[in-house]
Amino acid sequence: MKVTGVDFKGRDIISIKEFSKKELLHVLAVAAQMERRPDPHLLEGKILAALFFEPSTRTKMSFEAAMYRLGGEVIGFASEKVTSVSKGESLHDSIRILGGYSDVVVMRHPTEGAARVGAEATDVPVINGGDGANQHPTQTFLDLYTIKKAKGRLDKLKVGFMGDLKYGRTVHSLAQALSHFKVEMVFIAPPSLQMPPGILEELNAKGVKFKTIQDLKKGLAGLDVLYNTRIQKERFPDEYEYQKVKGIYTLSEKLIPLFKKDLKILHPLPRVNELSPALDGTSHAVYFEQAKNGVPVRMALLALVLGAVK
């Protein structure tokens, strides 16, 4: 069953672009309810299939924790090596079979568009846990939730995105979601890792005010929120291209004098060397809180697509 509109029951979550502003805000409101008063019986008898064809710590574990916290059960895998895909079974067939064993599927896959293939293979709702460099919509819901909690609003913000804006799927989804709000965007990246032209065109078409810049220090000016990202080594076509940009930025405590007093720093994690642990204890750091918010936000998404809440 593929439902569109404001009813989430049975709905796939493939791209953040499929959600209206009203729907984004509704998910955040349900997540806040889940955080305040989780019902440990809400999803009793339901099974989540967590199918991770690519490594994950936060997305996989927080979906599993969300399902268990609401009384549901989880099946799944963390590598295609332990599945019959390694014997040559198609993605379509695998998802069709696993949809038959579960009530909802969350899947991560290295290929762009894989989640869409999965959604076409089964009648149960399919949630995209990240497809290549394309989209990571559930990360975006928790990013919005974190920004709203940290800043008290999603409007009237100047938001910087730094690092790998080309291959980083989280920044693609987040920029598209924030385009619904009165947000000014600053894209801080070397030219070879800037936001894809298609996304910049979408932002232009929606009248979003943004600029692209390479200089980190200049890019920090006046930011309310800074979304830092790892250079996505695994997505580069060759090692030489990666070596050229590896370690290009490090957000460290030395840059604090350039921050607005109430700047909040987010990072989808994992981090490598682009975010100094020396910032962890400062009032700017909200990235560990952000990762924790994955549980109530994913509780909300599971409960909504399973029709347990409206």
CB of 268 to ligand CP, least distance (A): 4
Number of Cβ atoms within 10 Å of the Cβ of 292: 16
CB of 136 to ligand CP, least distance (A): 6
Q: Where are the alpha helices (DSSP H) in the chain?
A: 21-36, 58-69, 91-100, 114-121, 137-151, 169-178, 197-205, 216-219, 239-245, 287-292, 294-305
Q: How far is CA 248 from CA 64, 113, 280, in A?
A: 35, 29, 20
CB of 135 to ligand CP, least distance (A): 12
Contact at 8 Å (CB) between 180 and 21?
yes
Residue with tokens 């291959």: 167
| Binding region for ligand CP (CB under 6 A) | 56-59, 130, 139, 268-270
CB of 117 to ligand CP, least distance (A): 20
Q: Which is nearer to ligand CP, 102 or 232 (CB)?
A: 232
Whether the bond into 270 is cis, omega within 30 of 0: yes
Number of Cβ atoms within 10 Å of the Cβ of 187: 23
Q: Which is nearer to ligand CP, 248 or 269 (CB)?
A: 269
Query: Which distant-in-sequence residues (6+ apart) come within 8 Å of 281 by Cβ?
Result: none
